[in-house]
Structure 1
């Protein structure tokens, strides 16, 4: 009997509480909505005040950059969703960027691609590259030493080359002087041939001069041939003497 009474009163109290809540619920919801609206108004006012404080008239992205903050809190383009961009943001702004630092580690695929690239771009080990560099340096040093030896040898011959050059210059000068004197002699012979003064530009003078030059060349040629024959005869005589001595 006591249990039944207790159950009856409990149900009665529960129904009373439900009726009381049902009567006051609209007021509670209305009060909560008022609080939410007031909060939104306060935030809007704060945003408006903050906007007015920004006298620079910069955009929000530029303002954040100037103040050392991440330019965009929310992605504004597809590039802002890439791993590369987020790594850059974390590298520049650290934890304040809001980027998960695990993105900074390369993936298995990136590691594999990097290894394949290095295998092609840098096929040699560090030891092999050091040995190759040392060999190149050694070869370059040998080339330098060889070049220095050649320069020193040529420098030793410098005086001899100067002497030979001076001899060639003197020979050419002497030949030119001799040719000039021969020309003057021929001109003088032509003048004596005519027996009177004649303009060197005259046709008769030029013909006689050409004739004399031809005769002179013929005589010089004959003289060279005779000298050559004498030299050949001298060599043959010397050879006969040597053969007789051996016999």
Structure 2
């Protein structure tokens, strides 16, 4: 069973140590206001500021020993306060002008956006037609390439007597030779047409 803490006595050595302890009373007079000594080095710096003087005067009034004239803001501080007041609390006329300017800016942005959308919508039919044309041309080109490849493979099979892999050097050499012959034929055809046009009699004028 545990003993009651209230009835437990401290050890003798503790009683002997505390028997001679007699603390000195603090020299605090709560009837008098605490006025810091600004000339003393022991006084904290924050108790030497004008802000603290305002607190003292607000609490103790004339009993604080603070000169009320010193609490008024200086000329520079007053100008700063006025500037801040204008910035954070502008006159009604300025507020209305700011609101009007903001509304005007938002209207201009909205009109510019609507104009851009209208321009893009106007371009849409042409863009769709261009896309369809490119798609048709791409399909036609792919179809022509497949037909040309099939024709070259058939010609290679006829020339060599067996199916040729289109990736082999033999097939590539044959293709280069055929392309060279085609260029030569086109060149001769172009020259012949030019000669025929030069030999034709000029058209009679009415």
Does residue 145 in structure 1 map to residue 111 in structure 2? yes
1:176 to 138, 142, 164: 142
- Structure 1 or 2, whichever has the larger Rg, is 1
Q: Secondary structure at the match of 1:196?
A: coil
CA contact (8 A) 1:198 1:205 kept: yes
**Residue 73 of structure 2 is aligned with which of 97, 100, 106?**
106
TM-score by length of 2: 0.53
Contact residue 199 and residue 205 of structure 1 kept, 8 A: yes
Distance 1:210 1:145 in 2: 60
Q: Deviations over 1:178-197 (max 9, x none)?
A: 11221221222122122334
Take 1:131 and 1:197, find their aligned partners in 2: how far apart are those partners?
86
Whole-Å separation in 2 of the counterparts to 1:221 and 1:108: 97
Specify the SS of the correspondent of 2:162: coil
- CA distance in 1 between partners of 2:186 and 2:67 (Å): 103
| Compared CA separation, residues 82 and 184, structure 1 to 2 (3 A) | same
- Match of 2:73, SS state, is coil
Alpha-carbon RMSD: 4.6
Aligned pair partner of 1:95 in 50, 59, 69: 59
Structure 2 regions of 5+ residues with no counterpart? 1-23, 37-42, 195-201
Cα deviation for residue 94 of structure 1 reads 3.7
Partners of 2:166 and 2:127 in 1: how far apart?
A: 43
Contact 1:186/1:213, CA 8 A, preserved across alignment: no
Residue number in structure 2 paired with 1:84: 51
Runs (5+) with no aligned partner, structure 1: 1-43, 51-71, 230-236
Q: Of 63, 68, 73, which aligns to 2:34?
A: 73
Task: Report Cα offsets for 1:104-128 as digits up to 9, x if no partner.
Answer: 42134533x538x949x97xx9556
Q: CA deviation at 1:145?
A: 0.6
Deviation at 1:155, TM superposition (A): 2.3
Q: Give the superposition deviation at 1:203.
A: 3.1
* Structure with the larger helix share: 1
